[in-house]
Structure 1
Amino acid sequence: MTAASPNNPVDLADLLAFYASAGVDEALEDAPVNRFAEAVPKPAERTPAAAPRESKAPEPATGPPRLDARALPDAPAPRPPTSAVPDEAQAALARQLAMTATTLDELRQHMAAFEGCNLKATAKNLVFADGNPQAAVMLVGEAPGRDEDIEGLPFVGRSGRLLDRMLAAIGLDRSSVYIANVIPWRPPGNRTPTPHETEICRPFIERQIELVNPKVLINLGGPSAKTLLNTSEGILRLRGNWRVHTTGSGIAIPAMPTLHPAYLLRTPAHKKLAWRDFLEVKAKLREVS
């Protein structure tokens, strides 16, 4: 096929018809184009010196408009985080109330009216004490559980039944002992009381011990021993060794740290250790009587 002559319209029409029948619908360049090659900018045309440059208005941005921070309203200042745990003022109030109680009944009334410990909001009852306030032996655990919270008495669940058997083994029962806890309100879900909660309640149990004035104190479990004996040692190291609890009035009370009944239910092999501790208590009672 001969090339079409640009001066012959008939030849050009035939050529276009041929391309259309072959499926060509676009006019392409003679040389192939590399679409992946970087575009080389064309040299800018020089503007005559005499001609002034025209300032072009900036093209509108295609993206979302930017916000001017100065046009925004002032953000509110961050609020300090609120805590559900009472502050030091509540601990000071607890110490003041404990000091003013001259009897166990007054102490109980002060504790029932005290709103400074967040544990009270979730507990059903104040678990104050059980047993004989004139007893020679006072036992102190950590905190009430579910059964204790329902009945308002310490050690009435499985741990309490085991404790009753331990006391009976050395000739004691609830009529001859006095039982309380460091924390008088059940922590939610039986969780471990926080150090702040323990410090809030510490003045109450210390005053309770002072008012009962027992001849022998038994610390049931590590938290009770650490709180009332001012020590950081673990209960397995503390147990079986006589310590001293000093009251606010300066009276020294012999104290025996031992394993908590709940721990003994989980670790029955250590019941023999608690048995030795209770034999020490029995011997001490003969000595101080």
Structure 2
Amino acid sequence: MGAYQTIDPALAASALEWWHDAGVDLIVGDDPFDWLATPTDEAFAPMPGLALVTLPASPAAIAPAPAALPDTLEAFATWRMGPEAPEQGWTGISLAASGPADAAVMILVDCPDRDDGQAGQLLSGAPGRLFDRMLAAIGLSRDAVHIAAVCARRPAAGRMPRELETRLGEVSRHHVGLVAPKRLLLLGNAASRAILGTEMGQARGILHRLNHRTGTEGSTGEQDTGVVASFHPRFLLEKPVAKAEAWRDLQLLMKDIGA
């Protein structure tokens, strides 16, 4: 650097003013200071005569507590399609559950497929045709089962957002409680996580016991629902080799259902 430099007095004054406003009144002190030491409470103590003020949280930062879910299936179905449902901010349309309110078998999928919106029902198109054949193999039809989705609308990425997973799980378990089926078939990972809290692959092969009134596992008696996790029909279309395993799941679903 040269010996002679031109310093703008205005810039220098501006820098000094900034440091003054920041509280700097001494460049070098007489006592050494350990800059790597862990700060103590005293370091953040307010100046004499000043009090710390706690600002109230922004209204936008306070999440409202979820409203109580309707206690009848009819009211719940209306609420599920209304503005208070968790996924109402998503694009697309919501698809309502279908089937008898007192069905002995309930089917829960993750979300509508792309073609379901045009068809106006869950499990349409090629996955729906395979689903119908699966039901027929165990002596059932769409008219006899209650079909619902964890997400009434299809997420943008086709997968349930993690931040809504807990709430949608609560909604799904409440729905099961209102239907109170003898058997519940969970198709896919998202449905398995919503009800059983675990991935479908880990939940398969077991007839889980769910208290449909409390939403907890391990119950027996009149409030007991037998739960089976299996593959979604769309997966079976991509991996036909898994159909044999899906057939075993269906047999487990219907085992002793009349008992």
Q: Verify same fold: TM over 0.5.
A: yes
For 1:238, the equivalent position in structure 2 comes to 203
Residue identity matched to 2:112 = P
Cα deviations by residue, 1:168-224 (Å, 9 ceiling, x for unpaired): 11111101111101111210142x112221222223222211111111111111221
Please give the root-mean-square deviation of Cα atoms over the aligned residues, in Å: 3.3
Structure-2 residue corresponding to 1:25: none
More moved, 143-152 vs 212-221:
143-152
Partners of 1:138 and 1:179 within 8 A in 2: yes
Which residue in 1 is equivalent to 2:188?
221
**Structure 1 residues 65 and 127: CA distance shift in structure 2, 3 A:** same
In structure 2, runs of 5+ residues without a counterpart are 22-56, 216-222
Q: CA deviation at 1:249?
A: 4.6
Residue 260 (structure 1) aligned to one of 232, 246, 249: 232
Shift of 1:129: 0.7
From 122, 135, 149, the equivalent of 2:90 is 122
Q: Distance in 1 between matches of 2:187 and 2:256?
A: 17
The DSSP-based 3-state class of the residue aligned with 2:135 is: helix
Match of 1:210 in 2: 177
CA 1:204 to 1:151, structure 2 compared with 1: closer, same or farther past 3 Å?
Answer: farther
1:138 equivalent among 102, 106, 117: 106
Structure 2: how far apart are the matches of 1:150 and 1:68?
A: 65
User: Conserved in 2, the CA contact under 8 Å of 1:246 and 1:252?
Assistant: yes
- CA distance 1:277–1:107, change in 2 (3 Å): same
Q: CA deviation at 1:116?
A: 5.8
- Is the partner of 1:270 in helix, strand or coil? helix
Between the aligned partners of 1:67 and 1:149, the Cα distance in structure 2 is: 67
Verify the 8 A CA contact 1:222 1:235 in the aligned structure 2. yes
Q: Which amino acid in structure 2 is aligned with residue 252 of structure 1? A: D
Deviates more, 1:248-257 or 1:138-147: 248-257
Q: Which residue of 2 aligns with 1:29?
A: none
**SS of equivalent to 1:207:** helix
Q: Which residue of 1 aligns with 2:48?
A: none
Q: Label 1:226 to 1:284 Cα distance change in 2 as closer, same or farther (>3 A).
A: farther
Q: Secondary structure at the match of 1:253?
A: strand
In the TM superposition, residue 226 of structure 1 has moved relative to its aligned partner by 2.0
Residue identity matched to 1:239: R
Query: What's the CA shift string for 1:27-71, capped at 9, x where partnerless?
Result: xxxxxxxxxxxxxxxxxxxxxxxxxxxxxxx86349x96682546
Q: Within the alignment, does 1:184 sit opposite 2:152 as a pair?
A: yes
Identity %: 27
Q: Say which of 127, 131, 138 aligns to 1:170.
A: 138
Q: Which residue in 2 is equivalent to 1:197?
A: 164
SS in structure 2 at match of 1:171:
coil
Indicate conservation of the 8 Å contact 2:108/2:148, yes or no: yes
Question: Which amino acid letter does the alignment assign opposite residue 6 of structure 2?
Answer: P
Equivalent residues of 1:107, 1:204 under 8 A apart: no
- After superposition, where does 1:48-197 map in structure 2 within 5 Å? 60-61=6-7, 68-69=14-15, 70=17, 88-89=63-64, 92-93=66-67, 96=68, 98=69, 101-115=70-84, 117=86, 119-190=87-158, 192-197=159-164
| Separation in structure 2 between the aligned mates of residue 178 and residue 59 of structure 1, nearest angstrom | 84
CA distance in 1, matches of 2:172, 2:146: 12
